[in-house]
């Protein structure tokens, strides 16, 4: 429910709470009441990535440390990759087959294996080849 307003939230925090040292932005684990409210809560990270990147920009510009937890790097804008951390406990952390050829797998959060896992349509292995194609396209 916060994804559509994540940029506004980041801007508000940066402007109104100058004493904040660290903001952690977290993807939702699809378990418990989140399963019962899946239709209202699930949003593909691809669909809020641009707003998330702008929120990180606002916070970083204000000198706030920012971490992104529980979201795989490949579904996020490249600009926020340095903030996206491996954050899911090893006992409930997993990867899909596409991740087997990913160069960033060891530094990626992967996916929750608990509850009812949801997977973004943007899941793609991060490889040197993919990065080169992206660079050439831009």
Q: Confidence band (pLDDT; 50, 70, 90) for 67?
A: very high
- Residue identified by tokens 């990913």 is 102
- Burial classification of residue 137, based on how many CB atoms lie within 10 Å of its CB (0-12 exposed, 13-18 middle, 19 or more buried): exposed
Q: DSSP secondary structure string, 5-22?
A: GHHHHHHHHHHH-TT--E
- For residue 133, pLDDT over 60 is answered with no
In this predicted model, which residue has the larger pLDDT, 131 or 73? 73
Q: Confidence band (pLDDT; 50, 70, 90) for 22?
A: very high
Pick from 54-68, 83-97, 106-120 the range whose average pLDDT is largest.
Answer: 54-68
Contact criterion met (CB below 8 Å) for 57 and 13: no
């Amino acid at each position: 429910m916060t994804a559509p307003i994540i940029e506004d939230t980041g801007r508000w925090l940066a402007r109104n709470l100058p004493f904040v040292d660290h903001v952690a932005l977290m993807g939702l684990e699809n378990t418990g009441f989140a399963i019962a409210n899946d239709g209202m809560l699930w949003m593909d990270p691809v669909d809020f990535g641009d707003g998330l990147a702008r929120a990180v920009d606002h916070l970083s510009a204000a000198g706030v440390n920012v971490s992104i937890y529980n979201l795989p790097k490949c579904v996020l804008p490249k600009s926020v990759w340095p903030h996206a951390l491996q954050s899911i406990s090893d006992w409930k952390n997993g990867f899909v087959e596409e991740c087997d050829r990913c160069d960033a797998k060891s530094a990626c959060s992967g996916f929750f294996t608990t509850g009812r896992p949801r997977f973004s349509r943007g899941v793609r292995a991060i490889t040197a080849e993919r990065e080169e194609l992206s660079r050439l396209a831009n």
